């Protein structure tokens, strides 16, 4: 297999290490780097990935390597896998792995974790299970390993062989502050920032972590963020005062922190008539392909109803499935993408414009979503239209997303000079 120079560089940096992390930006081919590293070891390979990526990994190994490949989400293939002698690859998804105790009984294999940030919460069942597995070699792959929060690195560092305790990690690298909880009145700890970042960068390098960003490797087009501001409605202000409002005979009750936040976000998006009108105007201003990211199903229904008279073809990626026919066949198509279903792993670079009808709370999903169009093969400048309701929860969300991106960029920046550390 012929690799790009940056892919070979990643392998060269980790030569001689059997526990590595390839934190390569989306589009840099971390699948190829990870599989080549795995193929350099004599042990069998187990890949854990998202359900939507299982077949991609199966086909990748079948196409490029001379070894048996098993889809372990298939019961029959799982049974064959446990009885097979020789060198082989097994691919399984995160939500299924902890239902297979077999994988904690075996040892001396190579473990690939695709999108390894998925195990950042070490308390979930899947993370606990994976952290108790006994691989000889470990390969972590992710384009967004921290989601801008260094404390989320700990479980991945554990797999890399850095035996630092979580308490000591926080003490050495995380700045904490005590703030008053608005509901209980008690003072609670909160992450305020990070410290000793240069030391953290060196420790990551020492334990086999390689960071690369697309713009440092390829000459990708310019990216431009364009805010589209909307004023909050009187309904939003009333709800924030009273935690209760009725709209179109539906009652919205913000009786918990979570419910109030969710309904506040809805009052900024599809329940804000000016937002919907601005969205329609924005769509009508271009005949180019558009990608539209959203959170809630009601947002999708509202957008589709608002655009019905335009008679433009729609494609869709959400929790119910995926249909990209219009995206592939029509240059004026509109592709609606729900964050959880399509922010990762999709190639949508036929478009160069994304509209964010509403923002996600996840900095990882937000950064990944931008990479759907800004990736290898994109030749046009990329434009991101952020629909923001001023003076509302949306501005708070945007500030958090920007702050966490700064922290993530700091880690990636270090590895431009990693070889000199």
Per residue in 314-361, pLDDT (tens digit) is 999 999 999 999 999 999 999 999 999 999 889 999 999 999 999 998
Quick one: DSSP state of residue 67? S
Q: Residue 306 pLDDT > 70, yes or no?
A: yes
* Percent of the chain's residues with pLDDT above 70: 96
Other Cβ atoms less than 10 A from the Cβ of 420: the count is 5
Task: Please report the pLDDT score of residue 403 as a whole number.
Answer: 83
- Whether 364 shows a pLDDT value over 90: the answer reads no
Grade residue 182 by pLDDT with cuts at 50, 70 and 90: low
Structure tokens given for 188: 């609670």
In tens, the pLDDT along 166-176 reads 999 999 999 98
418 confidence band (pLDDT: 50, 70, 90): very low
State mean pLDDT over 392-399: 92
Tell me the domains of the chain and their CATH numbers. Answer: 5-217 (3.40.50.10810), 223-410 (3.40.50.300)
Mean of the pLDDT values across residues 27-37?
92
**pLDDT given at position 25:** 83
Mean per-residue pLDDT, 73-82: 94
**pLDDT higher for 409 or 189?**
189
Query: Are 60 and 31 within 8 A, CB to CB?
Result: yes
DSSP symbols for 96-136: HHTT-THHHH-BS-EEEEETGGGG-STTSHHHHHHHT-B-S
Which one of 104-108, 179-183, 414-418 scores highest in mean pLDDT? 104-108
Region 110-133 average pLDDT: 94
Confidence of residue 183 (pLDDT cuts 50, 70, 90): low
Secondary structure element (H or E) that encloses residue 167, with its range: helix 166-173
pLDDT above 90: percentage of residues in the chain: 74
pLDDT band at 191 (very low <50, low <70, confident <90, very high): confident
User: Does residue 357 contact residue 296 with C-beta atoms inside 8 Å?
Assistant: no
Q: Any idea which residue has 């009601």 for tokens?
A: 298
Who contacts 343 (Cβ-Cβ below 8 Å, separation ≥6)? Answer: 293, 337, 360, 365, 366, 368, 369, 372
Q: Is the pLDDT of residue 417 over 50?
A: no
pLDDT in tens, 195-214: 998 899 899 999 999 998 87
pLDDT of residue 419: 38
- pLDDT attached to residue 416: 43
Whether residue 268 is predicted with pLDDT greater than 70 in this model: the reply is yes
**Which of 39, 4, 38 has the alpha carbon at shortest distance from 114?**
38
């Amino acid at each position: 297999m012929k690799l790009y120079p940056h892919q070979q560089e990643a392998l060269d940096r980790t030569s001689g290490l059997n526990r590595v992390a390839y934190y390569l930006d989306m589009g840099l081919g971390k699948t190829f780097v990870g599989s080549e590293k795995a193929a350099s070891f004599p042990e069998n390979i187990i890949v854990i990935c998202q359900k939507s990526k299982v077949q991609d990994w199966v086909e990748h190994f079948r196409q490029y390597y001379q070894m048996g490949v098993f889809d372990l989400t298939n019961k029959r293939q799982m049974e064959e896998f446990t009885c097979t002698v020789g060198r082989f690859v097994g691919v399984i998804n995160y939500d299924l792995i902890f239902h297979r105790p077999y994988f904690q009984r075996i040892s001396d294999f190579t473990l690939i974790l695709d999108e390894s940030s998925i195990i950042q919460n070490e308390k979930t069942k899947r993370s606990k299970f994976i952290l108790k597995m006994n691989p000889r070699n470990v390969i972590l792959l992710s384009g967004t390993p921290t989601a801008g929060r260094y404390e989320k690195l700990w479980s991945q560092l554990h797999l890399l062989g850095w035996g630092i305790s979580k308490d000591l990690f926080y003490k050495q690298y995380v700045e904490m502050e005590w703030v008053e909880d608005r509901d209980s009145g008690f003072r609670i700890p909160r992450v305020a920032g990070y410290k000793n970042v240069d030391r953290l960068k060196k420790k990551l390098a020492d334990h086999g972590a390689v960071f690369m960003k697309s713009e440092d490797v390829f000459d990708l087009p310019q990216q431009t963020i364009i805010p589209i501001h909307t004023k909050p409605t009187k309904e939003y202000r009333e709800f924030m005062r009273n935690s209760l409002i009725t709209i179109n005979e539906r009652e919205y009750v913000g009786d918990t922190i979570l419910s109030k936040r969710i309904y506040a976000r809805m009052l900024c998006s599809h329940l804000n008539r000016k937002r919907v009108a601005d969205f329609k105007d924005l769509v009508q201003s271009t005949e180019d392909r558009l990608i539209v990211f959203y959170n809630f199903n009601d947002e999708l229904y509202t957008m589709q109803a608002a655009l019905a008279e335009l008679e433009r073809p729609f494609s869709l990626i959400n929790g119910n499935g995926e249909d990209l026919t219009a995206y592939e066949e029509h240059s004026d198509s509109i592709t609606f993408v729900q964050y959880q279903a399509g922010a990762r792993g999709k190639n949508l670079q036929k478009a160069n414009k994304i509209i964010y009808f509403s923002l996600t709370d996840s900095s990882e999903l937000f950064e990944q979503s931008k990479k759907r169009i800004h990736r290898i093969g994109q030749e046009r400048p990329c434009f991101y239209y952020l629909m923001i309701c001023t003076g509302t929860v949306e501005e708070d969300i945007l500030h958090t997303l920007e702050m966490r991106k700064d922290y993530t960029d700091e880690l990636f920046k270090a590895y431009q000079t990693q070889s000199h550390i």
